[in-house]
Structure 1
C-alpha cells in the first residue's frame, strides 16, 4: 500500500508541474470535482479522503490525472469519448459504445459503469486486492467530466470535431479544442481575472439559485440510481449538434457571437457534471 501511495504521489507531482494550460482537460475537470466535493456526504468525503494519494490536496487536484496517464496506460485512451454516426445526433450504447477495434463497452459510458462497479464494493478486502480503487476513483471522476463535454460524444468521421480546423478569434484551433479549452479560458480571462475559482464560485451560485429546481432531476435518471451515463451521453450529442457543430464549417472564424451564445451551455454541462459526480459518489459510499 505504501509503495502504491508513493507511485501515486509521483503522478500528482508530475500533474501539478504540468498544470499551466487551461481547459476542460484541466480547469473544466477541476471545476466539476470542486462542485462535487462541496456536495459530498460525510461518509463519501471520508471514503474519498481515504482513497486519494497522500500527496493529493483534494479530489479536484487529481481530477485531470486520467489525461496524464494516457501514454502510460495506452488502453485507456479510447475510454474518454464516444463516436456516434455522423449527423444523426442520437446515441445508443449497443451501437456506439465500442473502441476502434469494435470491442463493446470500451467508451466513456462503459468506463463509468466499470469504475462505479469497482468502487461499489469499497471496504471489501477481496475487492481491494483485485482492483486499484485509488485509480478507479480518479478514472471515474475524470470520465464523469468527459461525458458531459458535448464533443466527447461527437461524430465519427471528424473524431468529435478534432479534424475541423477553425479560428478562435485570431488563433488557429480545432473545434474540439475550442470546447475543451478556449471557451472556458476566454470566460476566465474576461470575467474571473483568469482565476478558475471564480468560475467555480459562479457556477455554484447558479446551482443554488438559477438551477435549484432542476438539481434533483440531474441527480436521478430512469434507474433512480446514478450514474446513468447513457442519459449523460444523449444530452451531450444533442448539445454538440445544437451548439458545438451548429453554424461551424472548416475554416470558420469563431468570435463573440459563438462564445457568448455557447458559454451558457458550457456552464450548464460543468454544473451537471459536478452535481452528478457527487450523487454518484454519495451512492457508492453511502
Structure 2
C-alpha cells in the first residue's frame, strides 16, 4: 500500500505526538534496576513467596510487564495506574489531603490495592501474579519524580527540550535519558548504587507511601526550577541530577523489598 507524502508526514507527526504522552516510568532499564536492588533486600519468606508466584521470573524481569502489555487493549484500564498528577505548591499535608481525596485510579491508591490482594489468602494464583507484577512496576513508577508532576503538562511530556542535541521532553529525559546516559547494564547499575548507609535504610523503610509521594513531589519542584521548555540539556544536567536519580532508583528498590517483607513476614 502506498501513502501520499502528506499522509506519511501526518502519520509520523501523530506517532511522535503519541509516544511522549505514553512514556513508561524509568524505561525498561530503570525498572529493572529497581527490581534488581529489591532482590537483595528480600528476606527468606518473601523470596520464597515471590518464587511461588513468579516461578523463575525475577523481580527485575517482571518489572516491565505492565508496560509490555500496553499493546493489549484489554489492559487499557491500567493506563492511569502509573502516575498521580498533583497541583503545584502543596506542603506535605496538602499532598496527603489530595491523595486521600483523589478517587481516580492512580499509582498511590492502586499500590495499596495490590498490597491488599497479595495479603488476602483468598486471592488466587492469577490474581497474585498480576498484583505482584503491577506492584513491582508501580513502586518504581512512584520513585520516578515526573510521575508525581503536573496535570497541565502531562507530567513533563509537554515540556519539550533537547537531550544531547536530540528532540525530547522532560518526562522522557527522566524516564530513560538520564539512566541510559550512565552506560551501565541493569545489573551493573544496581551494583554501583546499592551501597546505602544503615541510617539511610532505617529512614527509607520508616516512610509511608504518602511520604514517598511527597519526596518525589519535592524533587519535581527542583526539576521544574532547573528545566525550562526548549532548554538544551546535556552534561551539566546530568551532573546536577545524577545523584538524585541514583537515590530515587535505590530508594525504589529498598522500599519495594520492604513492602514485600511486610506482606510476607
TM superposition score category, shorter chain reference:
0.7 to 0.9
TM-fit CA distance, 1:96: 4.7
- Tell me, what secondary structure is at the counterpart of 1:162? coil
Structure 1: tracts of 5 or more residues without a match = 1-21, 222-227
Q: Structure 1 30/274 Cα, relative in aligned 2: closer, same or farther at 3 Å?
A: same
Alpha-carbon distance in 2 for matches of 1:89, 1:171: 35
C-alpha separation in 1, matches of 2:173 and 2:91: 20
Q: Does 1:260 align with 2:260?
A: no
Q: Please state how far the C-alpha of 1:89 moved relative to its aligned partner.
A: 7.0
- The match for 2:217 is 237
The 1:278/1:93 distance shift into structure 2, 3 A limit, reads same
Q: Compute the displacement of 1:97 (Å).
A: 6.6
Q: Which has the higher contact order (CA 8 A, sep 6+)?
A: 2
Q: Is the 8 A contact 1:23 1:184 kept in 2?
A: no
SS in 1 for 2:109: helix
**Aligned 8 A contact 2:163 2:234 in 1:** yes
Mapped partners of 2:49, 2:107: distance in 1? 24
Contact 1:40 1:278 in 2 (8 A): yes
Whether the 8 Å CA contact 2:25–2:141 is kept in 1: the answer is: no
Corresponding residue number in structure 2 for 1:177: 172
Report runs of 4+ in structure 1 exceeding 4 Å deviation. Answer: 87-91
Q: Is the 8 A contact 1:147 1:229 kept in 2?
A: no
Pick one of 230, 245, 249 that aligns with 1:270: 249
CA distance 1:187–1:97, shift in 2 (3 Å): farther
1:247 deviates by 2.2
Distance 1:229 1:69 in 2: 26
Give the corresponding residue for 2:47: 45
* 1:167 to partner: Cα distance: 0.3
Whether 2:112 is the aligned partner of 1:113: answer yes
**1:127 Cα deviation (Å)?**
2.5
Between the two proteins, the alignment pairs up a number of residues equal to 240
> Cα distance, 1:69 vs. partner?
2.0
- Displacement of 1:176 after TM fit? 0.2
The answer as to 2:95 corresponding to 1:92 is yes
Could you say which residue in structure 1 is the equivalent of 2:148? 153
1:104 aligns to what SS in structure 2?
coil
CA distance in 2, matches of 1:231, 1:150: 13
Which of 182, 188, 201 matches 1:215?
201
Paired residues of 1:97 and 1:109 also in contact (CA < 8 A):
no
Q: Please state which structure has a larger fraction of its residues in helix.
A: 2
Task: Return the alpha-carbon distance in structure 1 between the equivalents of residues 148 and 263 of structure 2.
Answer: 25
Contact kept, 8 Å, 2:201 with 2:254, in 1: the verdict is yes
Q: Distance in 2 between matches of 1:89 and 1:185?
A: 32
What is the alpha-carbon distance in structure 1 between the residues aligned to residue 176 and residue 225 of structure 2? Answer: 18
TM-score, normalised with respect to structure 2: 0.84
Shift of 1:238: 0.2
Q: Are positions 1:203 and 2:206 aligned together?
A: no
Q: State the alpha-carbon separation in 2 of the partners of residues 230 and 117 from structure 1.
A: 16
Residue pair 2:25, 2:82 contacting (<8 A) in 1 also: no
C-alpha distance in structure 1 between counterparts of 2:85 and 2:157, whole Å: 12
